[in-house]
Amino acid sequence: MSERIDTLGALHLAVERQHERKAVLLCKSDDGTWTPTPDWRFHRHVVRLALHLRERWGLGPGDRVALVGPLSPSFLVVDWATVAQGGTVVVLGADPTDAALDVAWSRFAPRTVFVAGEDARRRVQDRGGEVVTLDDQTSHDGPSFAQLLELGGTLDTAERAGAFRDRARAIAASSDAIVHVDRVSDGSPTYQVLTHAEVLARCERFRGKHEPRSGDVAYVRPDALSVDAHVALYSLLGGGVASTAIGTVGRELEEIDRLDPGMVVTRSDVLAARPKPFAIGGGRFKRWLDRTIGAASGGSR
């Protein structure tokens, strides 16, 4: 990538032009097989969702979109569709405390909230903002992620796609990209805000330590989305060569053995439970990202 990439919008545009991976994502299907999502489909979904959020709901630069749920393909589409248009994604995890929700709404006031699961929907529905379900199984009279993708497809013209790219290029590197609201050991919430420039700087450091090869697989536990793991995902998805496998809680060791990934993003206690020494990716990678809670000081911005 020869052009200057100083925002996640620019990173999306750079990797969108490649379309080299047959599987940017690998997800477990009901029959136990790994289903690939090719590059072109992932980026088409990002554009279509972004078009709906912008054209129909008026999402603009600096607006906040909250994500409540575990890591999933739809989670990542929402994430990239938001940041690639200058919005800020507020990550609350799969099971945020009421105090964490209070912090998210009092300090960041998300305009749109994507939720996974019935319990999460009930807990956020009266807090403000348009609520969208990430899964079709949740009972909800409002819109679902799949419906927004379909509606975004009706907007996906060459002219509007060009406007999407213009907005991605216009993002200021100093604008906020991600917010992580988490809890520390005493249960109190803490949050960390990173700008586009800060995320890209961390991505650069990540690639300096963990440079994947074409065809490598990175295994990610779906509930392990710390700030560092989030940066790793931006780097992996935006790097254009590796595939990211979204694992299953409770099935990590079995899935890691089967996939033999080049990198594992999970909790260290999961790897410690493995009955034999664990050499990640046959020696290609010697480190993994641990799950860190409250690593950053809360309320710093």
Mean pLDDT, the chain, rounded, equals 84
Q: What is the mean pLDDT of residues 139-148?
A: 84
* Residue where the block lists tokens 């799950």: 291
> Domains of the chain by range and CATH?
8-283 (3.40.50.12780)
Q: What average pLDDT does range 246-260 have in this prediction?
A: 85
Q: Which of 156-170, 204-218, 219-233 has the highest mean pLDDT?
A: 156-170
The answer to whether residues 116 and 135 touch, using CB atoms and an 8 Å cutoff, is: yes
Report which of 253, 185, 266, 184 is spatially closest to residue 225, judged by C-alpha positions: 266
Query: Are residues 114 and 66 in contact, defined by beta-carbon separation less than 8 angstroms?
Result: yes
Per-residue confidence band for 277, with pLDDT thresholds at 50, 70 and 90: very low
Please write the tens of the pLDDT for every residue from 14-40.
Answer: 988 876 678 899 998 878 889 999 988
The distance from CA 211 to its chain's CA centroid, rounded to whole angstroms, is 20
CA 121 – CA 138 distance, rounded (Å): 8
**Does residue 291 have a pLDDT over 70?**
no
List, in order, residues 6 or more apart from 163 with CB less than 8 Å away.
none
Q: Which of 157-166, 212-221, 266-275 has the highest mean pLDDT?
A: 157-166
Predicted local distance difference test score (pLDDT) of residue 246: 93
